[in-house]
Structure 1
Amino acid sequence: MIFRLEIENFYSIGPVLTIDLHARAGVDDASVAPIYPGSEERAPKLVAVFGPNASGKTTFLRAIAFLVWFARDSFQLIPGQHLPFALFQSRDWLGKPARLAIEIGGMPRFPPSAHGDVGSGVYRYELQIARRRNSDAVVQENLFFRPHRARKRFRVFERTEKEGVKGSRFFPLRGLGKLAETLRPDVSVLSTYAQFGHKVALALQQALRTVFSNLLIFKEDPSPDRIAGQFRQSKELLDACNREARRLDLGFNEIRLAEGPLFFQFRHDGLEDFLPWQWESHGTQSFLRWFPLIWWTLRTGGCALIDELDASIHPDVLKEILRWFRHPERNPKNGQLFFTCQNTALLEELQKEEIVLCEKDASGFTKVFPLADVKNVRRGENFFRAYHRGSYGALPNIG
């Protein structure tokens, strides 16, 4: 479970922002869950991001998506190609590195013979990247782990531009030969070492595959053929989608997958034949785009990052999706959903721990802050009314 993020010099974020999603002591209802099995610390299963247009909502999700992509997949990047991120576009910031860090609660991924039983705990991944004229370079990359109830974290690996990679008994480097010489300056330790069969790197890379996102640089709307491919890979996914579509009254009774250019066919009451994807409403298409990400997240206990989840989807359907994440039977592994949203009516459906706000200051810097950090906000108040009164900020300045 993701519960803390630090961002500096990344897109519209300049000075370092620390977003801590810990729930306060005593909060223990369906909206929050332990950050890892057995932990007393809790964080929200839903994180809804609100704010004016161009305030930095997508940037907040991009930071998580980029960190996960870099750690997991950056080895696939074409050598010499710039990494998919941007610095804050001012003279004072373009010469500085981007700095990101994330803290995630989870299971240990280390071979038992290497450490004994340390139990679940918290991973902290840190990254600094310098943007240079012809290429990007990692200035620093670190991974730490704090076991359950431990006060101090231990080093899994550390990497600096000058000294290279330092492993540990949890991340052994023996027997890897000249792998250090293979490590490109713009690629992560985990994604590189996983290519060469490093067991811990492979285990961590596999764990990160439970983070699903619809954006990296830009929001990505999956094409119908790609969505059809996801449904073809899992009959259980297709059956679940058909079941939910009927229950949510999305207007069709059954999806049938076809070969050729008409990937989807939809059965409707009173019609003799199936209808193609192109004839379905934008709302139906949007639901089908995000349902696989949501379903896999609920199944795996992972995390879904969805930009503009509310686009074209009926508010009552959105409310039902939120309920899935709070329901212990629908979400037994405490999967998380981070999403940006313009539909402020959803504020009435959320607890304060589930709400993150974005706004820009006079210098153009994005500020990101959990509503729980705003003083004197009671847990049961009407967040919709208070937000539109301007009590929290993060409103468009129309005048």
Structure 2
Amino acid sequence: MLIDFRVKNFRSLRDEQVLSLVAAKDNSLSDTNTLSTGLKAVPRMLPSAAIYGANASGKSNLIKALQYMRGVVLESATLIQPGQTFAVQPFRLDPSSEKEPTEFEVTFVLDQVRYQYGFSMTSKRIVSEYLLVYKAFKPQQWFERHYDSDQDKDVYDFGTGLKGPKTLWEKATRPNALFLSMAVQLNSEDLRPVFDWFARDLVIFNEQAPLNTQFAIQLLKDAESKKRICDFLTTADISISDIEVVTDKVPGQKVHFDLTAGKTELRSEEFEESRLRFTHVTDQGKAVFDLDDESNGTRILVFLAAPILDILDKGLTLVIDELDTSLHTLLVRELVRLFHRPEINRRGAQLIFTTHDTSLLDAPGLFRRDQIWLVEKDTSQASTLVALAEFSPRKNEALGKGYLSGRYGGIPFLTHHSGEVD
């Protein structure tokens, strides 16, 4: 489970912003809207969090920041070449911030062990990196790295908790690579769980990482998975009783290399191509439709239901930018409630999403106050992330109306034709 994510000086997020999924000391909806960790320090976590804000307020930048951190962890030791620079973007409307490093940190629970990992970076190099591991209440510092500009070198401090050839890993780590990533490439078993949390346990969907239609198609080839997806669509009041994966042979061309002759040639070959066929059943009869015949909302729901059901099975953390795109508000509620149902979410999966759908705020029993977050920009165009709970709304308060009236922030200022600003 993700405990919290911290970011500083990334795009519009100039000052440190913290998204926390630690449940407040509030007994409301505790059976459905909180998860037990088995840890004394953070006994209960939240299975979901909704992030609101006006267009261009910085909601998407928060998702991109976590995505960027994940990308550096996964790619810095393998895809980034020596001397290559990073495309990191600090806050550019403040000259002092533009020269400062960008900072990331995540804290998460894995197998009842709490990990706190972070690093700071510029476009040229990693400036600092550290890992704290809480196998007991007191943390163990497994490693800490910082750049010494006077000596023009990285200085490392290792704790006894980290086992393995640390000197070898240190020497292999380039200035533009993470020690964590390089050590895992060189077979560090101790650090593998941290790397794998980013690689496998953290799933992000946004404009830069759209839904993978092939993943849904593969699940639909499995009879049990297909039944679960169809059952969910029925629950969502969509009249799809069956989804068939049809595989066709299509002509194509493939380049072949002849190393002996030293030439290449283009050969005609047949490739397999999968398409979906949807069976709709009503009281009046049934019909079969192709994917293109379905509404955009149905297509998104099909391709979203597959990974969500898989994420719930495995207990992963899912982050989605604009969950409500092309989906009716009742469908969004049903998707969120999947994470709130202990009989379905047995392994502590989490859902974090941005949205403009204010009707979710007043949906009966959908959210606790600590599950709602607001993003807005100040006069310097820097984004600020604030928990709704900080405004101490009454338990019976109409949150949607309060949000739209600007009581909690997070809404746009609109200019009328008269030139007056609301």
Q: TM-score, normalised by structure 1?
A: 0.86
The aligned residue for residue 321 of structure 2 is 307
**Partner Cα distance (2:235, 2:18) in 1:** 40
- Paired residue type of 1:96: E
The aligned residue for residue 362 of structure 1 is 379
Confirm or deny that 1:184 pairs with 2:183. no
The aligned residue for residue 92 of structure 1 is 96
Confirm or deny that 1:392 pairs with 2:408. yes
The aligned residue for residue 12 of structure 1 is 12
- Paired residue type of 2:106: I
**Partner Cα distance (1:292, 1:83) in 2:** 34
C-alpha contact (below 8 Å) 1:12/1:56 kept by paired residues: yes
Q: Bigger CA drift: 380-389 or 22-31? A: 22-31
Confirm or deny that 1:277 pairs with 2:294. no
SS at match of 2:90: coil
CA-CA distance at 1:126 after TM superposition: 1.4
Confirm or deny that 1:258 pairs with 2:246. yes
CA-CA distance at 1:320 after TM superposition: 1.1
How do 1:96-115 and structure 2 match up within 5 A?
A: 96-107=100-111
CA-CA distance at 1:157 after TM superposition: 1.8
Deviations 1:311-330 (A, max 9, x none): 11121111111111111101
- Paired residue type of 1:59: N
CA-CA distance at 1:230 after TM superposition: 5.3
How do 1:108-127 and structure 2 match up within 5 A?
A: 120-127=112-119
- Structure 1 223/202 Cα, relative in aligned 2: closer, same or farther at 3 Å? closer
Q: Bigger CA drift: 94-103 or 17-26? A: 17-26
The aligned residue for residue 233 of structure 2 is 245
Which residue of 339, 345, 359 corresponds with 1:325?
339
CA RMSD in angstroms, aligned pairs only? 2.4
- Structure 1 188/237 Cα, relative in aligned 2: closer, same or farther at 3 Å? farther
**Partner Cα distance (2:212, 2:313) in 1:** 23
The aligned residue for residue 117 of structure 1 is none
C-alpha contact (below 8 Å) 1:137/1:185 kept by paired residues: yes
CA-CA distance at 1:12 after TM superposition: 0.6
- Paired residue type of 2:2: I
CA-CA distance at 1:53 after TM superposition: 0.3
The aligned residue for residue 34 of structure 1 is 36
C-alpha contact (below 8 Å) 2:77/2:177 kept by paired residues: yes
Deviations 1:107-161 (A, max 9, x none): 2xxxxxxxxxxxx342111110012xxxx3111111101235x1x3111222223
Q: How many residues align?
A: 375
- Paired residue type of 2:132: F
Deviations 1:237-276 (A, max 9, x none): 333212211222223221111224452221223455x422
SS at match of 2:125: strand
Give the percent of matched residue pairs that are identical in Structure 1 and Structure 2: 23
C-alpha contact (below 8 Å) 2:80/2:176 kept by paired residues: no
- Structure 1 75/358 Cα, relative in aligned 2: closer, same or farther at 3 Å? same
C-alpha contact (below 8 Å) 1:225/1:263 kept by paired residues: no
Structure 1: gaps of 5 or more residues: 108-119
CA-CA distance at 1:226 after TM superposition: 5.1
SS at match of 1:263: strand
- Structure 1 87/156 Cα, relative in aligned 2: closer, same or farther at 3 Å? same
Q: TM-score, normalised by structure 2?
A: 0.81
C-alpha contact (below 8 Å) 1:262/1:277 kept by paired residues: no
- Structure 1 84/228 Cα, relative in aligned 2: closer, same or farther at 3 Å? farther
- Structure 1 224/29 Cα, relative in aligned 2: closer, same or farther at 3 Å? closer
Deviations 1:13-51 (A, max 9, x none): 112223444332243342122345566532321100111
Q: Bigger CA drift: 62-71 or 40-49? A: 62-71
- Structure 1 348/82 Cα, relative in aligned 2: closer, same or farther at 3 Å? farther
Structure 2: gaps of 5 or more residues: 148-152, 249-272, 416-422
How do 1:94-173 and structure 2 match up within 5 A?
A: 94-107=98-111, 120-131=112-123, 136-148=124-136, 150=137, 152-161=138-147, 162-173=153-164
C-alpha contact (below 8 Å) 1:141/1:160 kept by paired residues: yes
- Structure 1 346/210 Cα, relative in aligned 2: closer, same or farther at 3 Å? same
- Structure 1 177/157 Cα, relative in aligned 2: closer, same or farther at 3 Å? closer
Confirm or deny that 1:199 pairs with 2:189. yes
CA-CA distance at 1:373 after TM superposition: 1.9
SS at match of 2:5: strand
The aligned residue for residue 228 of structure 1 is 217
- Paired residue type of 1:397: F
The aligned residue for residue 397 of structure 2 is 381
**Partner Cα distance (1:299, 1:166) in 2:** 39
